[in-house]
Structure 1
Amino acid sequence: MKRLLYFFICFGVLIFWSSCRNDFEFTPSTGNLEFARDTVYLDTVFNNIGSSTYNLKVYNRSDEDIVIPTIQLERGTASFYRMNVDGGTGNEGTPQEGKFFENVELLAKDSLFIFIETTIDIATLPTLDTEFLYTDRILFDGGTNQQDVDLVTLVKDAVFIYPDFQGNTTMFENLNFDVDGDGIVDETSLPGRFLTNSELTFTNEKPYVIYGYAATPEGETLTMEAGARVHFHADSGILITNNSTLTINGASSSDQELLENEVILEGDRLEPIFEDVPGQWGTVYLFNGSVSNTINHATIKNATIGVLAEGNDDAPTDKLTITNSQIYNTSSFGLLGRATSISAENVVINNSGQSSFAGTVGGKYNFTHCTIANYWNNSFRQFPAVLLNDFTQIDETTIGTNPLIEANFNNCIIYGNDNPEFILDQQGDDFSFKFTNCLLRFDNSNLEGTTNYVFSDMTFYDSNIFNADPDFKAPFDNLMQIGEDSGANGIGSTIFSTQVPFDLLNTSRSASPDAGAFESVIFDD
Structure 2
Amino acid sequence: MRQFFILFIFGIILTFSSCRTDFDTVANSGNLKFSKDTVYLDTVFKNIGSGTYQLKVYNKSKDDISIPTIQLKNGLNSKYRMTVDGTSGNNGKIFKDITLLAKDSLYIFIETTADITDANPTDFLYTDQIQFDSGANLQEVALVTLIQDAVFLYPKQNPDGTKEKIKIDDKDVDGFYLDENDPVNGNELLFTNQKPYVIYGFAGVPENKTVTFQAGARVFFHANSGLYVATKASLQINGTASVTEKLENEVIFEGDRLESLYDNIPGQWNSVIFANGSKNHAINHLTLKNAITGLNLKNPDNSTTIQIKNTQIYNSAEYGILAQNAHIIGENIVINSAGLATLSCVYGGDYIFTHCTFNNNWQNSAQFAVNLSNSLAGATPETNPLTQATFNNCIIYGSSSNEFNLNKNANTPFVYQLNNCLLKFSSSSTNPDYQFKTDVAHYNQIILNENPKFFNISQNKLNIDNTSAAFAKGNQAYVIPLDIMGKTRTSPPDLGAYQSAAFPK
With normalisation by structure 2, the TM-score equals 0.93
Q: Count residues in correspondence.
A: 497
- In the TM superposition, what are the counterparts of 1:5-20 in structure 2 within 5 Å? 7=5, 11=9, 14=12, 18=16
**Residues 153 and 458 of structure 1: is their aligned pair in 2 closer, same or farther, counting only changes over 3 Å?**
same
**Residues 148 and 418 of structure 1: is their aligned pair in 2 closer, same or farther, counting only changes over 3 Å?**
same
Tell me if 1:220 matches 2:209. Answer: yes
User: Which residue of 1 is the match for residue 421 of structure 2?
Assistant: 438
Q: Provide the rounded CA distance (Å) in 2 between the counterparts of 1:494 and 1:399.
A: 40
**Residues 511 and 143 of structure 1: is their aligned pair in 2 closer, same or farther, counting only changes over 3 Å?**
same
User: Which residue of 2 is the match for residue 183 of structure 1?
Assistant: none
Counterpart of 2:163, as a letter, is: F
Counterpart of 1:164, as a letter, is: K
Q: Provide the rounded CA distance (Å) in 2 between the counterparts of 1:459 and 1:72.
A: 74
User: Which residue of 1 is the match for residue 247 of structure 2?
Assistant: 259
**Residues 371 and 5 of structure 1: is their aligned pair in 2 closer, same or farther, counting only changes over 3 Å?**
closer
Question: Which moved further from structure 2: 514-523 or 321-330?
Answer: 514-523
| Aligned partner (choices 497, 502, 506) of residue 482 of structure 2 | 502
User: Which residue of 1 is the match for residue 146 of structure 2?
Assistant: 154
- In the TM superposition, what are the counterparts of 1:181-196 in structure 2 within 5 Å? 188-196=171-179
Q: Provide the rounded CA distance (Å) in 1 between the counterparts of 2:7 and 2:278.
A: 93
Q: Provide the rounded CA distance (Å) in 2 between the counterparts of 1:174 and 1:160.
A: 17
User: Which residue of 2 is the match for residue 324 of structure 1?
Assistant: 310
| Aligned partner (choices 189, 192, 201) of residue 200 of structure 1 | 189
| Aligned partner (choices 108, 111, 114) of residue 117 of structure 1 | 111
Q: Provide the rounded CA distance (Å) in 1 between the counterparts of 2:11 and 2:436.
A: 93
Tell me the CA shift for residue 121 of structure 1: 1.2
CA contact (8 A) 2:367 2:400 kept: no
Tell me if 1:38 matches 2:4. Answer: no
CA offsets, 1:250-275, max 9 Å, x none? 011110x2111011111111111110
Tell me the CA shift for residue 347 of structure 1: 0.6
Tell me if 1:144 matches 2:128. Answer: no
Tell me the CA shift for residue 98 of structure 1: 0.8
| Aligned partner (choices 492, 497, 500) of residue 512 of structure 1 | 492
CA contact (8 A) 2:119 2:147 kept: no
User: Which residue of 2 is the match for residue 135 of structure 1?
Assistant: 127
Tell me if 1:83 matches 2:63. Answer: no
Counterpart of 1:240, as a letter, is: V
Tell me the CA shift for residue 32 of structure 1: 1.6
Tell me if 1:467 matches 2:449. Answer: yes
Tell me the CA shift for residue 79 of structure 1: 0.7
SS for the counterpart of 1:144 is helix
**Residues 68 and 432 of structure 1: is their aligned pair in 2 closer, same or farther, counting only changes over 3 Å?**
same
Tell me the CA shift for residue 19 of structure 1: 7.9
Counterpart of 2:28, as a letter, is: S
CA contact (8 A) 1:245 1:292 kept: yes
CA contact (8 A) 2:360 2:367 kept: no
CA contact (8 A) 1:174 1:188 kept: no
Question: Which moved further from structure 2: 488-497 or 245-254?
Answer: 488-497
**Residues 125 and 429 of structure 1: is their aligned pair in 2 closer, same or farther, counting only changes over 3 Å?**
closer
SS for the counterpart of 1:154 is strand
| Aligned partner (choices 290, 293, 302) of residue 302 of structure 1 | 290
Tell me if 1:382 matches 2:366. Answer: yes
CA offsets, 1:454-506, max 9 Å, x none? 64232211222222221211223211111212222222122211xx2111121
With normalisation by structure 1, the TM-score equals 0.90
CA offsets, 1:15-48, max 9 Å, x none? 6994897411222212121111111111111111
Question: Which moved further from structure 2: 272-281 or 157-166?
Answer: 157-166
Q: Provide the rounded CA distance (Å) in 2 between the counterparts of 1:168 and 1:447.
A: 63
**Residues 14 and 229 of structure 1: is their aligned pair in 2 closer, same or farther, counting only changes over 3 Å?**
same
SS for the counterpart of 1:273 is helix
SS for the counterpart of 2:126 is strand
User: Which residue of 1 is the match for residue 350 of structure 2?
Assistant: 364
CA contact (8 A) 1:354 1:381 kept: no
Identical counterparts, % of pairs: 45
| Aligned partner (choices 377, 382, 391) of residue 393 of structure 1 | 377
CA contact (8 A) 2:279 2:301 kept: no
User: Which residue of 1 is the match for residue 166 of structure 2?
Assistant: 175
CA offsets, 1:349-403, max 9 Å, x none? 11111111010000011101111111224xx2403210000011129xx971100
Counterpart of 1:133, as a letter, is: L
| Aligned partner (choices 195, 200, 205) of residue 211 of structure 1 | 200
Tell me the CA shift for residue 64 of structure 1: 2.0
Question: Which moved further from structure 2: 472-481 or 323-332?
Answer: 472-481
**Residues 86 and 12 of structure 1: is their aligned pair in 2 closer, same or farther, counting only changes over 3 Å?**
closer
CA contact (8 A) 1:120 1:155 kept: yes
CA contact (8 A) 1:353 1:381 kept: no
User: Which residue of 1 is the match for residue 184 of structure 2?
Assistant: none
| Aligned partner (choices 283, 287, 310) of residue 275 of structure 2 | 287
Q: Provide the rounded CA distance (Å) in 2 between the counterparts of 1:19 and 1:333.
A: 64
Q: Provide the rounded CA distance (Å) in 2 between the counterparts of 1:115 and 1:458.
A: 63
CA offsets, 1:301-340, max 9 Å, x none? 111101011214631x21x211011111101000110011
CA contact (8 A) 1:393 1:399 kept: no
Question: Which moved further from structure 2: 326-335 or 53-62?
Answer: 53-62
User: Which residue of 1 is the match for residue 94 of structure 2?
Assistant: 100
Measured on the aligned residues, the alpha-carbon RMSD in Å equals 2.3
SS for the counterpart of 2:366 is coil
Q: Provide the rounded CA distance (Å) in 1 between the counterparts of 2:453 and 2:218.
A: 31
Tell me the CA shift for residue 405 of structure 1: 1.0
User: Which residue of 1 is the match for residue 27 of structure 2?
Assistant: 28
Q: Provide the rounded CA distance (Å) in 2 between the counterparts of 1:254 and 1:142.
A: 50
CA contact (8 A) 2:344 2:371 kept: yes
Tell me the CA shift for residue 446 of structure 1: 2.5
Q: Provide the rounded CA distance (Å) in 2 between the counterparts of 1:220 and 1:393.
A: 31
Tell me if 1:347 matches 2:333. Answer: yes
SS for the counterpart of 1:123 is helix
Q: Provide the rounded CA distance (Å) in 1 between the counterparts of 2:436 and 2:32.
A: 73
SS for the counterpart of 1:479 is coil
CA contact (8 A) 2:341 2:371 kept: yes
Tell me the CA shift for residue 81 of structure 1: 0.2
Question: Which moved further from structure 2: 21-30 or 98-107?
Answer: 21-30
| Aligned partner (choices 156, 176, 192) of residue 164 of structure 1 | 156
Q: Provide the rounded CA distance (Å) in 2 between the counterparts of 1:12 and 1:473.
A: 68
